[in-house]
Structure 1
Amino acid sequence: MAVGPKRDLVGELSTALRKRNLHVGLYHSLFEWFHPLYLKDKENKFRTQQFVQSKTLPELYELVNTYKPDVVWSDGDWEALDTYWNSTEFIAWLYNYSPVKDTVVTNDRWGSGVMCKHGGYFTCMDRYNPGKLQTRKWENAMTIDSQSWGYRRNANLSDYLAIEQLIDTIVETISCGGNILVNVGPSHDGVIKPIFQERLSQMGEWLKVNGEAIYSSVPWKFQNDTVTPKVWYTAHITDTVKTVYAILLRWPEKDTIFLGAPTPSKDTTVQMLGSDISFQWTKGASSGMLIQIPLISHNQMPCKWAWTFKISNLLNS
């Protein structure tokens, strides 16, 4: 029986992603739980590096040279120092001599004690969501199954984030200047189960309407509102365009909503992403603005969760 050439599934996936103008990131675990060479180095209190020299480093160089990733996402760092992993040697090559030296980004998991101190961006811990603006670029690596990174046959429905919780997390993260990494756990045969498919489809449905406030946005001077809870801000600010987005995680119970953070000018306009309905506003007594919510029928609502006001020409934008 003839046997064809072995398929390079990672290569095929990378090619398919790039055809859609998507960036390619590769996850790499520094250690393997039960690899005999790793266990031997560990027994030697990491004074030997048989595992690093024969497996980890050659693998990292091969991954970068073969697939030319935009992101190298390192993990499995907590048991040994970066000197054991020779992390600085690899990262120096990555940023100075590798085929992706001018474009690649790395995270902060390159040895025990390195996380949240060094790296292209910080992850700090799993599901890291500080709720305030950080001084360094960071990422919230989180899971739709709140209890696990993998697929669990015994998971309860309550373990999975509802779409409202997922969107809340996305908005809070982006407002505070973070990236968001949303994990789903495939089954042993590579199937993404229906509940994960549903959440990802819902997330895409929401982003199709509100993506303008998320993609390529920057943090505003206020992350959440100073008066009304469950309102988070993002912004697009250039030399010619200054736009602030107020994302309402919950729909107002009344026909008005007061935003304490924005300072409107006479030229300020308020729109809702996905809607052509005009929104009138009045200036607050001392600061802020009161937005009038007109009667909107159910089929005129632009989305089912988390609605975005696009506010232009603020005095404090």
Structure 2
Amino acid sequence: MAPGWGALALLALAAGAAGGPRYSADWASLDARPLPAWFDEAKVGVFVHWGVFAVPAWGSEWFWWNWRGEHRAAYERFVAQRYPPGTTYADFAPLFTARDFQPRDWARLFQSAGARYVVLTTKHHEGFTNWGSPVSWNWNSVDTGPHRDLVEELGEALRERNIYYGLYHSLLEWFHPLYLDDKKNGFKTQNFVFQKTMPELYDLVLRYKPDLIWSDGEWEAPDTYWNSTSFLAWLYNDSPVKDTVVVNDRWGQNCSCHHGGFYNCADKYKPGTLPDHKWEMCSSVDRSSWGYRSNMQLAELMDASSIIRELVQTVSFGGNYLLNVGPTKEGVIVPIFQERLLSLGEWLGINGEAIYASKPWRVQVENSTNNVWYTSKGPAVYAIFLNWPRDDMLKLSSPIPSSDTEVTLLGFSGTLKWKKSPDKGLLISLPYIAPSVLPMQLGWTLRLEGVK
């Protein structure tokens, strides 16, 4: 066991409880672990990308890499025009103040958005940690910038509202000397992993007991370099969250869409058909960035209708939907992001029955002008349609009706009239609804009972 994290590992073992199946440090064993049920039932999460990149707030959260890694002219010009000569990326850290960060306000907003879990960046590829990492001296939110443990504060606020807490963590750091040295050695050495990555992962788990670990930054090296299977075996066997924690699939360049817990596969992944493995789509309100950009334009943002469409498609195919916002350096979630989140929550307030704890139905989508997507829960089938038919008659080809079939519209009292379609399926008479009665014009849900 490498020096620098042996003590942490011993603490970790002491924190774990005995009992239950033991997993060995290989993918065949680890991939056989059942996914804790809470994740599939949750369906909707909010992603938060927050770090020093919120200070320049320009381009994207990859600002440092684009500026110093690729020396892009636009980024060099931006810094030259706005900051003193000789400015380094480290100079941005004291300006990352989080002065207006109110974790309870965030938690209230995320709950109002309908989120059942929240994932915060504890450390992005820039290496700055949003907690007092013992192996990130002076490059963390306690030693500089906010002088606050942002990971802890948000976690406490979320747990007051019974929202599951996920921690995003980048395995790599673009410019860390130990990582660059390992890279130069063809990843045959693991000094960065054992002196930086592993101590941080153990520290995060033991300190904050996360419900989810959202790993990233894996793509340059295989899982054997990252020590991934050994860490996950400890996480599943002996950690304080061994029975409840969920992880994704970014544990090495060979893992995405193949190994881990649920699959992300790629950013903004859309499978197109029903996968045979639990998955999650991560998306961002700002289509051009995950971190906050002060120069973003309205046309570059997802509107509420696009968000609902992505959510419905994702859940119909058995996925979870993780929607990202990037706060400012002061810790403000800007009003346009709040508005998008609240629109999602308002829609879920009416239609959430068809989303939360639902399962994919035997048919996921109908090819029709009305864009109908299906989910199910027990004997009920839900048909979510994103376009209201002009003649107020909705044809559903896939459900097979019976004499016991009942059709209701979520958010509207009473049952709806229907008849068998001449070819197959149902013809449903939709009610005339004044906008004031059912204001959400972003998609509607029919509950079908007594259909096959």
TM range (shorter): over 0.9
User: Partners in 2 of 1:302 and 1:270 — Cα distance?
Assistant: 20
The 5 Å alignment of 1:2-151 reads: 7-151=148-292
Amino acid at match of 1:202: S
Q: Which residue of structure 2 lines up, in the alignment, with residue 254 of structure 1?
A: 391
Question: 1:228, 1:259 within 8 Å by CA — same for their partners in 2?
Answer: no
Instruction: Give the one of 276, 292, 299 matched to 2:413.
Output: 276
CA 1:228–1:262 in structure 2 vs 1: closer, same or farther (change >3 Å)?
Answer: farther
Report if the CA contact (8 A) 1:31-1:76 is conserved: yes
1:265 correspondence with 2:406: no
Of structures 1 and 2, the one with the larger relative CO (CA 8 A, separation 6+) is: 2
Letter in 2 for 1:251: W
Query: What amino acid sits opposite 1:308 in the alignment?
Result: T
Asked if structure 2 preserves the Cα contact closer than 8 Å seen for 1:226 and 1:259, the reply is: no
- Are the equivalent residues in 1 in contact too, given 2:370–2:389 (CA < 8 A)? no
Cα distance between partner residues in 2 of 1:251 and 1:84? 53
AA at the equivalent of 2:356: Y
- Whichever residue aligns with residue 366 of structure 2, its letter is D
Gaps in structure 1 of 5+ consecutive residues: none
1:224 to 348, 357, 365: 365
Question: Partners of 1:158 and 1:8 in 2: how far apart?
Answer: 35
Q: CA offset at residue 313 of structure 1?
A: 1.2
Query: C-alpha separation between the residues in 1 aligned to 2:435 and 2:224?
Result: 59
CA displacement, residues 80-129 of structure 1 (integer Å, 9 cap, x when unaligned): 11111101110110011111111111100001121001011110100001
Which 4+ runs in 1 deviate beyond 3 A? 5-9, 226-229
CA contact (8 A) 2:406 2:448 kept: yes
More strand by share: 1
2:425 equivalent in structure 1: 288
Secondary structure, in 3 states, of the residue corresponding to 1:38? helix
Cα distance, 1:19 vs structure 2 = 2.1
1:182 matched residue in structure 2: 323
Shift of residue 35 of structure 1?
Answer: 1.0
Deviation at 1:154? 2.1
Of residues 270-279 and 6-15 in structure 1, the stretch that sits farther from structure 2 once superposed is: 6-15
Alpha-carbon RMSD across the aligned residues, in angstroms, is 1.6
Are residues 212 and 199 of structure 1, via their aligned partners in 2, closer, same or farther at CA, if it must alter by over 3 Å? same
1:184-238 superposed Cα distances (whole Å, 9 cap, x missing partner): 111222221111111001111111111111111110111012545411011101x
Q: Tell me the distance in 2 between the aligned counterparts of 1:246 and 1:222.
A: 10
Q: Are 1:212 and 2:353 matched, yes or no? A: yes
CA offset at residue 277 of structure 1?
A: 4.1
Q: Mean Cα displacement is larger for which, 65-74 or 187-196?
A: 187-196
Q: Describe the shift of the 1:120–1:79 C-alpha distance in structure 2 as closer, same or farther (beyond 3 A).
A: same
Q: How many residues align?
A: 308
**Map of 1:236 onto structure 2:** 377
Letter in 2 for 1:280: K
* Aligned equivalents of 1:203, 1:301: Cα separation in 2: 15
Using the TM superposition, give the Cα deviation of residue 255 of structure 1 relative to its aligned residue in structure 2, in angstroms.
2.0
Q: In structure 2, the residue corresponding to 1:24 is in which secondary structure?
A: strand
Partner residue, 2:29: none
The 8 Å contact of residues 126 and 142 in structure 1, kept in 2 or not, is answered as yes
- What SS class does the counterpart of residue 449 from structure 2 fall into? strand
1:7 shift after superposition: 4.6
Q: Percent identity?
A: 54
CA apart distance, 1:8: 3.3
TM-score, normalised by the number of residues in structure 2: 0.66
SS at match of 2:436: helix
CA contact (8 A) 1:274 1:302 kept: no
C-alpha distance in structure 2 between counterparts of 1:221 and 1:282, whole Å: 22
Provide structure 2 residue ranges, at least 5 long, that are not aligned to the other structure.
1-142
Q: Distance in 2 between matches of 1:217 and 1:303?
A: 21
Q: Is the 8 A contact 1:257 1:291 kept in 2?
A: yes
Contact 1:244 1:312 in 2 (8 A): yes
Q: What letter is aligned with 1:252?
A: P
**Partner Cα distance (1:14, 1:302) in 2:** 34
User: Contact conserved, 2:381 with 2:447, CA < 8 A, in 1?
Assistant: yes
